[in-house]
Amino acid sequence: MSDVELDPVIHAQARLRVVATLAALAPGDRIAFTRLQELLEMTPGNLSTHVRKLEDAEYVAVTKTHKGRTPVTYLALTTTGRLAFERYRRSLAELLGGTT
């Protein structure tokens, strides 16, 4: 049995999808909550729950602002989150016997 451990914060399917999508953005880029919700086909409540766990782990930064009079929430992967996702990817590859 391998000693490889997968980050439990990222490993949940929904959170893995969120982190993988945010990791596809260039460092410093962000995406609107509603756009991410559309891309992942998640309900607002479900996405909010998973984003909160990622935010608590300091993997995701949440910025609330306004576009005109409409509130907008933006999400971005933090440097900590990006590093955690890279560690997760390496651990998963090692667990599966691949190379990174």
For residue 84, the enclosing domain spans 8-93
Number of structural domains found in the chain:
1
Judge whether 63 lies within some domain.
yes
Judge whether 99 lies within some domain.
no
pLDDT digits (tens, 9 = 90+) for 5-56: 899 999 999 999 999 999 999 999 999 999 999 999 999 999 999 999 999 9
What residue type is assigned to position 74 of the chain?
Y
pLDDT digits (tens, 9 = 90+) for 45-98: 999 999 999 999 999 999 999 989 999 999 999 999 999 999 999 999 998 886
Judge whether 2 lies within some domain.
no
Q: What is the CATH number of the domain that holds 79?
A: 1.10.10.10
Measured in whole angstroms, the distance separating CA 14 from the mean position of its chain's CA atoms is 9
Both tokens of 30, joined, read: 């962000």
Q: Which residues contact 12 (CB under 8 A, 6 or more apart)?
A: 50, 53
Judge whether 42 lies within some domain.
yes
Judge whether 87 lies within some domain.
yes
Judge whether 53 lies within some domain.
yes
pLDDT (0 to 100) of residue 97: 86
Q: 67 has which bridge partners?
A: 70
Please check the confidence at residue 99 and state whether its pLDDT lies above 60: no
Judge whether 98 lies within some domain.
no
